[in-house]
Amino acid sequence: MKHIILSIILLLTTLGVNAAVTVTAKVPAVVGVGEQFRLQYTVNSGDVAGQPHIGSVASFDVVYGPAVSTSHSFTSINGHSTENSSTTFTFTLIARKEGKYQLPAVTLNVGGHNYTSNTPTLQVVKGNGNSTPQTHSSPLSPQPSPPSPHSSHRVGPGDLYIEVSANKRTVYEQEPVLLSYNVYTTQALEQLQGKMPDLKGFVAKEVPLSRDKHLSIVNRNGRTIQTTTWSQYVMFPQQSGKLTIPSIPFEGIIAYVNRNIDPIDAFFFGTNATTRINHTVHAPSLDITVKPLPPKPSTFSGGVGNNFTISAALASKTPRENETLTLKVKISGTGNIDLITPPEVHFPADFEQLDNKSEANTTLTPEGMKGDLTIEYYAIPNHKGQYVIPPVELTYFSPADSQYHTISSGKPIVVKVAKGNPNSYAARQRMKNDDIRHIHLDPISADSAAGGGGMLPVAVAYVLLVALFVVAYMILQLRQRRSADVQGRLLRKAGTKANARLRTALRMMQSGKASEFYAETLGALRDFVADKLALPVTDVTKENISALFAEYGVSEELSLRYSEVVSECELHIYGVSSDDANQMQRTYHDAEEIITLLNPLLKKKKK
């Protein structure tokens, strides 16, 4: 409609005729102190350049203006057409002092010529709160500013309120409770925000709801009202007893049509006839009774929910000794699945168990978290052979029947460990715990022909022989440990940070994660040198490493080997990474040997 009116106006302007130009100023005859009134300047032409400016006016406040409106009229009588145009500039003022005043004239440029208006006069009298402006205003002129929204539009308790409901009011510990905040309103509600505070005794997770709220009309207590579910939370009680969810304030914005604004003015002047006010509404508190769990079995995992299942499988079908194998255990169900303590896996005694890693892939539902919890268990078999991993068991509590249930991953897992690399890092680390076998001493019987007098020398000889064997055993043991654990001891002294990164690199290599392997290997080399030389890692670069090593007497060959391994790692990290297992094995052993050789050299004083 607006575009049609503008098109008609543009069409009519092309048919206009010239007339004598006049500029007329108009105000009410009488206004009261504190009242708003309009000062209008009207020129009988639509070809006006610029807008008038009245600046500050003594004893008056200029609160708005100028608002510009243009009107056109077109008549045709007996084939003779006539067009009349006018432009009105409207200012809104407030009188502050009694008296009789002349308001300023303005000069307007029309068609390249200046035209000056008259100086209107008005009388300001004592305000009584009931007087109204007496100007004969155009229907297109802007109306006075509306009164304060809070004085003209009030929201009663029954116009906007929130009710809180729970799908269960009595639950067990860890049993999920669905909390719903339902809004009821008779107002045009544009926005409402409320946040669940940090609660003692609950873990709260908000249910993702659509931001596009669709209100439905219901009849409530004989009254028609709109309603919708504004927000929902799944609450996991962490302790027993009577727990209270506190009252929550919601900050809202309500829109309403301001009847003090003329809709025609709103259309032509862009005035918004809709007024918005802020309003706070409080959702009531709610009590939840939480029952303690029955006496827990020793195998209880902390899981509370329904329909839990568990499965276990080896990630590698052909594990090798001294290499890390991965056992994946997946727990599925609905409840507090992301709060479950990983169950214990009973690896064979010959396996060295490492730290496990958990990852939850769940969706929040009214019944709790639904999805999977995957735990990866890492272990290193020390010798080849066939081993058995017993089934993995999980004990959880089901609120449906108030009973504990123990589920199993199924059949035992048979692990066939193949021959591995005897020079691997894990194999050498284990050597430090392997002592030489105890020497077996056969019992010595007394010689019956020696007689009773020969027993003492024999006993002394026996004691000396045992002592000799003990001393020899201790010496051999010490030498064996020193010989077998040279690299292990040096690596342990190379800094715990570098050692830890080498172990991580080993696991990445055995898992086939090439990029992570090269990143950890590079980090181990740099961390080692940085720790030994007491330098920031950023100072350990290929550009200055040769100079640093030369100060400590490191040979040029060893310095070159270090740089080559660093370059190879960077190539796989920042270039094209290769998952060649043999290449990773060579890189790992080169890095390990370089650290071993550098360790005693970097301890020496600078030359």
The predicted structure's pLDDT at residue 153: 66
How many whole angstroms separate alpha carbon 490 and alpha carbon 429? 11
Mean pLDDT is lowest, of 49-58, 265-274, 420-429, for: 265-274
Confidence bin at 17 (pLDDT 50/70/90) = very low
Same domain, 210 and 171: yes
The predicted structure's pLDDT at residue 455: 57
Same domain, 33 and 101: yes
Same domain, 137 and 197: no
Same domain, 26 and 50: yes
pLDDT more than 90, % of the chain: 24
Q: What is the sign, positive or negative, of the torsion defined by CA atoms of 106, 110, 112, 113?
A: negative
How many whole angstroms separate alpha carbon 427 and alpha carbon 429? 5
In the numeric block, which tokens belong to residue 83?
């067009």
Residue 147 lies in a domain: no
Residue 607 lies in a domain: no
In the numeric block, which tokens belong to residue 262?
């003329």
Residue 319 lies in a domain: yes
The predicted structure's pLDDT at residue 334: 92
More confident residue, 532 or 154: 532
Same domain, 17 and 118: yes
Beta partners for residue 220, in sequence order:
223
The predicted structure's pLDDT at residue 438: 46
Mean pLDDT across the chain:
78
Number of domains into which the chain is organized:
4
Same domain, 8 and 122: yes
Same domain, 111 and 172: no
Residue 508 lies in a domain: yes
Amino acid identity of 333? Answer: G
* Cis peptide, bond prior to residue 66, ω within 30 of zero: yes
Provide mean pLDDT across the span 51-75.
77
| For residue 234, pLDDT beyond 80 | yes
Confidence bin at 61 (pLDDT 50/70/90) = confident
Residue 332 lies in a domain: yes
DSSP string, 86-126: EEEEEEEEEE-S-EEEEPPP-EEEETTEEEE----EEEEE-
Residue pointed to by tokens 């709109």: 226
Each residue's pLDDT tens digit, 365-385:
888 889 999 999 999 998 889
Residue 275 lies in a domain: yes
- CATH code: domain of residue 179: 2.60.40
Mean pLDDT is lowest, of 52-66, 133-147, 383-397, 435-449, for: 133-147
Whether this prediction's pTM lies above 0.95 is answered by no
How many whole angstroms separate alpha carbon 541 and alpha carbon 301? 48
How many whole angstroms separate alpha carbon 478 and alpha carbon 598? 24
Provide mean pLDDT across the span 425-449.
49
What is the domain range of residue 557? 488-601
Confidence bin at 579 (pLDDT 50/70/90) = confident
The predicted structure's pLDDT at residue 424: 56
325, 376, 381, 416, 431 from 321: Cα distances, Å? 9, 19, 5, 10, 14
The predicted structure's pLDDT at residue 449: 44
| For residue 434, pLDDT beyond 70 | no
Range from 39-43, 192-196, 599-603 that averages highest in pLDDT = 39-43
Mean pLDDT is lowest, of 117-131, 281-295, 420-434, for: 420-434
How many whole angstroms separate alpha carbon 415 and alpha carbon 421? 18
How many whole angstroms separate alpha carbon 183 and alpha carbon 245? 18
| For residue 557, pLDDT beyond 90 | no
- CATH code: domain of residue 370: 2.60.40.10
Each residue's pLDDT tens digit, 101-153:
999 999 989 888 899 999 999 898 886 544 333 333 333 333 333 334 344 56
Q: How many alpha carbons lie under 13 Å from residue 81 in its C-beta half-sphere? A: 10
Q: Which of 570, 563, 554, 561 is nearest to 604 (CA)?
A: 554
Provide mean pLDDT across the span 284-304.
92
